[in-house]
Amino acid sequence: MADLQERRLKDAQMRASISQKLVETGERERLKELLRTRLIECGWRDQLKAYCKDVVKQKGLEHITVDDLVAEITPRGRAMVPDNVKKELLHRIRTFLAQQSNM
Amino acid sequence: MSFSGCQHLQAFKAAHGTQSYRIIHKYFIAALSTEARLRKARSCVCHTCKTTTVRLHSCLHCVYFGCYGANHIQEHAASKNHTLAVDLVFGAVYCFACGDYIYDGELEGIAGENGKSFEDSIGLDGCWVPTDVELQLLHQNPKRRKISDNSTIGLRGLINLGNTCFMNCIVQALTHTPLLRDYFLSDKHNCQMINESERCLVCEMCRLFQEFYSGVRTPHIPYRLLHLVWTHARHLAGYEQQDAHEFLIAALDLLHRHCKGNNGLSSSNPHHCNCIIDQIFTGGLQSDVTCKECNNVSTTIDPFWDISLDLGPPPGGDARNSLYGNGDEPSSLMECLRRFTRPEHLGSSAKIKCGKCHSYQESTKQLTMKKLPVVACFHLKRFEHSTGYHKKISTFIPFPEELDMTPFMSSSRSHNNGYQTQVVQEAASSLSSQNKYSLFAVVNHLGTIESGHYTNYIRLHKNQWYKCDDHMITKASLDSVLRSEGYLLFYHKQILEYE
CATH value at residue B299: 3.90.70.10
Specify the range with the lowest mean pLDDT, choosing from B205-219, B249-263, B285-299, B420-434.
B420-434
**B293 has pLDDT over 50:** yes
Residue B430 CA, chain-centre distance (Å), reads 22
Specify the range with the lowest mean pLDDT, choosing from A1-5, B152-156, B179-183.
A1-5
Supply the DSSP symbol for B97. Answer: T
Range of the domain at A78: 25-100
Range of the domain at B364: 278-496
For residue B97, the domain's CATH number is 3.30.40.10
Model confidence over B5-47: pLDDT tens digits? 788 888 888 888 888 888 888 888 888 777 888 888 888 888 8
- Distance between CA atoms of B122 and B138, rounded to whole angstroms? 30
Higher pLDDT, A68 or B432: A68
In a domain, B217, yes or no: no
- Distance between CA atoms of B408 and B368, rounded to whole angstroms? 6
How many domains does chain A divide into? 1
**B485 has pLDDT over 50:** yes
Give residue B296's pLDDT: 83
In a domain, B377, yes or no: yes
In a domain, B237, yes or no: no
Kindly report the number of other CB atoms within 10 A of residue B222's CB atom: 21
How many domains does chain B divide into? 2
- Which residues, in sequence order, are CB contacts of B294 under 8 Å at separation 6+? B354, B356, B357, B361
Higher pLDDT, B406 or B417: B406
Give residue B272's pLDDT: 65
**Number of C-alpha atoms within 13 angstroms, CB side, residue B492?**
18
- Distance between CA atoms of A63 and A95, rounded to whole angstroms? 45
- Measured between alpha carbons, how far apart are the two ends of chain B, in Å? 39
Whether the CB of B315 is below 8 Å from some CB of chain A: the reply is no
Model confidence over A4-40: pLDDT tens digits? 888 888 888 888 888 888 888 888 888 988 898 889 8
- Write phi, then psi, for B354 (nearest 5 degrees): -80, 135
Single out the residue of B392, B409, B403, B374 nearest to residue B281, CA to CA: B374
**A88 has pLDDT over 50:** yes
Checking DSSP bridges between strand B65-67 and strand B472-476, what pairing results, if any? unpaired
CB-CB contact of B12 with B20 (8 Å)? no
In the listed set B123, B147, B173, which residue is the last one of a domain according to the structure?
B123
B44 with A23: Cβ contact below 8 A: yes
B122 with A61: Cβ contact below 8 A: no
- Measured between alpha carbons, how far apart are the two ends of chain A, in Å? 27
**B274 has pLDDT over 50:** yes
In a domain, A11, yes or no: no
In a domain, A74, yes or no: yes
CB-CB contact of B109 with B99 (8 Å)? no
In the listed set B76, B108, B123, which residue is the last one of a domain according to the structure?
B123
Give residue B392's pLDDT: 85
- Please state, for a pLDDT cut of 90, what percent of chain A lies above it: 26
Quickly state the pLDDT bin for B316 (edges 50, 70, 90): low
Alpha helices in chain A (DSSP H): 2-25, 27-41, 44-59, 66-80, 83-99
In a domain, A19, yes or no: no
Active site residues of B: 165, 453
> How many helices (H) and strands (E) are present in chain A, helices listed first?
5, 0
- Write phi, then psi, for B179 (nearest 5 degrees): -70, -35
In a domain, B395, yes or no: yes
Specify the range with the lowest mean pLDDT, choosing from A48-62, B345-359, B475-489.
B345-359
In a domain, B232, yes or no: no
In a domain, B438, yes or no: yes
Kindly report the number of other CB atoms within 10 A of residue B207's CB atom: 13
In a domain, B103, yes or no: yes
In a domain, A3, yes or no: no
Distance from CA of A86 to the nearest CA of B (A): 12
- Write phi, then psi, for B482 (nearest 5 degrees): -70, -20
Which of chain B's residues have a Cβ under 8 Å away from the Cβ of A61?
1
In a domain, A6, yes or no: no
A20 with B42: Cβ contact below 8 A: yes
Distance from CA of B122 to the nearest CA of A (A): 7
Question: For B248-260, b where at least 16 C-beta lie within 10 A, e where not — what string?
Answer: bbbbbebbbbbbb
Q: Name which of A29, A65, A90 to mutate to probe chain B: the one with the most chain B Cβ atoms within 10 A of its Cβ.
A: A29
Supply the DSSP symbol for B271. Answer: G
In the listed set B123, B139, B156, which residue is the last one of a domain according to the structure?
B123
CB-CB contact of B399 with B486 (8 Å)? yes
For residue A76, the domain's CATH number is 1.10.246.140
Entry pTM: 0.69
Whether the CB of B495 is below 8 Å from some CB of chain A: the reply is yes
Give residue A74's pLDDT: 92
Distance from CA of A23 to the nearest CA of B (A): 5
**B384 has pLDDT over 90:** no
Higher pLDDT, A75 or B273: A75
